[in-house]
Amino acid sequence: MRIVSRIKILCEKDARNIIDKISKKTGKSKICLFLDIFKSYKNYKCDYMEYYYYEFYMLSDKERRTFVTNKMNDYIINKYNNKDESIKLDDKGSFDLMFKDYIHRDFIDLRSSSFKDFKDFISDKDKVLVSTTDYKNFEIIRVVKDLLKNEYNVLKIYNSIMKRNEVIVEELLVENKEVSRLYSEGINYLRLNTFNDGKDVHVISRVFKINKSKDEKLYAILNENGTIIYPAVNNNSQTFMKHPDTKEDIIDYQVPFYKEAEKMVIDAAKKINDVKYIGWDVFIGEDHPSILKATSKPLAFELKPSVSGNREGLKKEYEKYIGEKL
């Protein structure tokens, strides 16, 4: 049944489109790619999207074995993250309470607050940050602007937020000028994945998520010092040396307060021992970093070889910290 299921998936429109793209790019026949994608899933638990993004079509079997696929990532989550504690971590309201010393901002949870509480909370704020507690919409962090200009429409604003289930309303901190220089609309932030081995907390991947127009994001890999070392990529696997809107250089960009941000998430990760593998989103403010939120279901960020110039993935790094073979 699994074989039949995989064949059905590879025959779907999205999969066929991916195979068409790769075929045009490489000159390889579609049937050969179809069979190779099937083999990659069987041997490396690599789905067709990962096959495309990680450029498995240009890698040897030995090189393919070095990448952390979604299935491997899910294995780590399921084995090392306690489900009950994960629910608390993923709920934005309980998260803000648990990690109030690291978020550095006022907040209100509309699930347990009245309209009057909301009105009082925004009375001196022109902008607020709103977000849902639903993990499926984890990436949605929205800025609501011009609140003071709309002081007579507070109920309308409140109803709009509630309709979208954006029940966590937070004070919006001022973004660091060096970060805003890359792109000033929306929020740019760090994603740091940590693993707690019981003795130490390790940062095992570092990504800077940069906003761009049309609500898209660019993903840039950082080195241990918080410097962008490769071109950024978007969800369509396009690469960018400069920001497409602002034309600011992305390569060699240094994230301000990176070391402070890393220390912060390491300290925070030590406070929740039963969730060992965590993804932390960190905002860079004017003079210090602040944690935006965290997830018990982080993604492993692998960069395609044609961008990094490196045909080896992060599996060795992950295995070193979790202490077992994937």
Is 73 contained in some domain?
no
184 lies in which domain range? 79-90+176-322
Looking at the fold, whether 86 and 110 belong to one and the same domain comes out as: no
Q: What is the CATH number of the domain that holds 235?
A: 3.30.470.20
Looking at the fold, whether 127 and 56 belong to one and the same domain comes out as: no
Looking at the fold, whether 48 and 121 belong to one and the same domain comes out as: no
Is 71 contained in some domain?
no
Q: What's the distance, CA 254 to chain centroid?
A: 19
Residue that finishes a domain, picked among 137, 171, 205: 171
Looking at the fold, whether 31 and 86 belong to one and the same domain comes out as: no
CA distance 43 to 242: 37
Is 261 contained in some domain?
yes
pTM of the predicted model as reported, rounded to 2 decimal places = 0.89
Q: Show pLDDT as tens, one digit a residue, over the chain (326 residues).
A: 455 565 556 667 788 899 999 999 999 999 999 899 989 988 988 999 999 999 999 999 999 999 999 999 999 999 999 999 999 999 999 999 999 999 999 999 999 999 999 999 998 988 898 988 865 554 567 778 777 666 668 888 899 999 998 999 999 889 999 999 999 987 899 999 999 999 999 999 999 999 998 778 899 999 999 999 999 999 888 899 999 999 999 999 999 999 999 999 999 999 999 999 999 999 999 999 999 999 999 999 988 899 888 999 999 999 999 999 99
Is 97 contained in some domain?
no
Is 124 contained in some domain?
yes
Residues whose CB falls within 8 Å of the CB of residue 50, separated by 6 or more in sequence, listed in order: 56, 67, 69, 70
Residue that finishes a domain, picked among 136, 171, 206: 171
Buried b (16+ CB within 10 A) or exposed e, 55-92: bbbebeeebbebbbbeebbebbbeebbeeeebebbbbb
Looking at the fold, whether 213 and 298 belong to one and the same domain comes out as: yes
Degrees to nearest 5, angle at CA 275 with 270 and 281: 75
Looking at the fold, whether 296 and 210 belong to one and the same domain comes out as: yes
Looking at the fold, whether 114 and 163 belong to one and the same domain comes out as: yes
Tell me what pLDDT residue 1 has: 44
Looking at the fold, whether 153 and 198 belong to one and the same domain comes out as: no
Domain total of the chain: 3
Is 24 contained in some domain?
yes
Residue 125, judged by CB atoms within 10 A of its CB (0-12, 13-18, 19+), counts as middle
Output the 3-class SS for the chain: CHHHHHHHHHCCHHHHHHHHHHHHHHCCCHHHHHHHHHHHHHHHCCCHHHHHHCCHHHCCHHHHCCCCCHHHHHHHHHHHECHHHHHHHHCHHHHHHHCHHHHCCCEEECCCCCHHHHHHHHCCCCCEEEECCCHHHCCCEEEECCCHHHHHHHHHHHHHHHHCCCCEEEECCCECHHHHCCCCCCCCEEEEEEEECCCCEEEEEEEEEEEECCCEEEEEEECCCCEECCCEECCCCCEECECCCCCCECCCCECCCHHHHHHHHHHHHCCCCCECEEEEEEEEECCCEEEEEEECCCCCCCCCHHHHCCCCCCHHHHHHHHCCCC
Looking at the fold, whether 186 and 242 belong to one and the same domain comes out as: yes
Residue that finishes a domain, picked among 171, 195, 217: 171
Looking at the fold, whether 246 and 260 belong to one and the same domain comes out as: yes
Is 43 contained in some domain?
yes
Is 33 contained in some domain?
yes
Looking at the fold, whether 166 and 185 belong to one and the same domain comes out as: no
Q: What is the torsion angle, in degrees rounded to the nearest 10, for the CA atoms of residue 105, residue 171, residue 111 and residue 118?
A: 130
Looking at the fold, whether 135 and 281 belong to one and the same domain comes out as: no
